[in-house]
Amino acid sequence: MALVGNMIATAFAGNPAMVNYDMFVATFGMASLLYLLPTSFLSSWSIPIINTGLDALNVIFWFCAAVATPAYLHVHSCSNSSYTHSNHITNGSPNTEKRCREAQASTAFLWFGWAAFVASLVISVMDGRGTGANMHGGMRRGPAMSQV
């Protein structure tokens, strides 16, 4: 989020939609974590369908950003000034090489974030299936005495 925010802050002529989308993805992910982190420790607050839904949305958003950003960036050398001055993402900052490096680093973090949300989605689905087919929250209980 800080890398993309710095790209936005140093722009002198606006930002491409891709940079703004990357900031949306980072913000949505952090806002989701405000709900997902407490529910991972306090299962009584957890609503499995919401956990799964937020994780699924984050997986989709982060994957789209992680694929689209390098597609717009075209991933050349950031030391090549003719590339950085002609690229849609890197042009628009007084220091195009710095902006290029920030865009490449944010791409790497987008892939790490995507992998983390995929793992979280798998855990959410497994937890949701353990509470029943309707995915309502609640405590898991052991077998009743008649089943022992």
Q: Rounded to an integer, what distance in angstroms lies between the CA atom of residue 14 and that of residue 138?
A: 48
Q: Which of 49-53, 91-95, 121-125 has the lowest mean pLDDT?
A: 91-95
Is residue 88 a contact partner of residue 9, using CB atoms and an 8 Å limit? Answer: no
Q: What is the pTM of this model?
A: 0.81
Spatial neighbors of 87 by CB under 8 A, at least 6 apart, are 73, 74, 76, 96, 100
Is residue 87 a contact partner of residue 100, using CB atoms and an 8 Å limit? Answer: yes
Q: Is 57 exposed, middle or buried (0-12, 13-18, 19+ CB in 10 A)?
A: middle
Whether 110 shows a pLDDT value over 60: the answer reads yes
Q: Which of 30-34, 39-43, 106-110 has the lowest mean pLDDT?
A: 39-43
What ranges in the chain are assigned the alpha helix state H? Answer: 2-9, 17-41, 48-73, 81-86, 96-130
Whether 141 shows a pLDDT value over 80: the answer reads no
Range of the domain at 28: 2-147
Spatial neighbors of 84 by CB under 8 A, at least 6 apart, are 78, 90, 91, 96, 97, 99, 100
Average pLDDT, the chain: 87
Whether 39 shows a pLDDT value over 60: the answer reads yes
The number of domains in the chain is 1
